[in-house]
């Protein structure tokens, strides 16, 4: 039959296969790390937008409350004036 490959040649082939697998895993891990960093950036941007929306909602609520108090104040003044006119 054909001669058996030299032990050193078989060892080199296994080493090359293992190195190829390691290189493939390293490439996959690089892609995974890039994806994680990209997701982190997107989450950070989303968090900033959520904070801005919350601040806007709080400002709107304060503005709405001020308008309600102003309207109540005007009604109170009108009521007092009306009472003084009746007297």
Residue at 27 is within a domain: yes
pLDDT band for 35, please (50, 70, 90 cuts): very high
- Into how many domains does the chain fold? 1
Look up the domain containing 11 and give its range: 1-61
Residue at 9 is within a domain: yes
Residue at 83 is within a domain: no
Q: What is the pTM of this model?
A: 0.52
Q: Distance (Å, rounded) from C-alpha 64 to C-alpha 56?
A: 12
pLDDT band for 58, please (50, 70, 90 cuts): confident
- The share of the chain scoring above pLDDT 90, in percent, equals 59
The beta strand positions in the chain, using DSSP E, are none
């Amino acid at each position: 039959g054909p001669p058996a490959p030299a032990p050193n040649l078989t060892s080199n082939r296994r080493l090359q296969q293992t190195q190829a697998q390691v290189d493939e895993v390293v490439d996959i891990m690089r892609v995974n790390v890039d994806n994680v960093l990209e997701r982190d950036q997107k989450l950070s941007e989303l968090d900033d937008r959520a904070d801005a929306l919350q601040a806007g909602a709080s400002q709107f609520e304060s503005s709405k409350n001020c308008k309600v108090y102003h309207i109540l104040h005007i009604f109170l003044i009108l009521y007092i004036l009306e009472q003084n006119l009746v007297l």
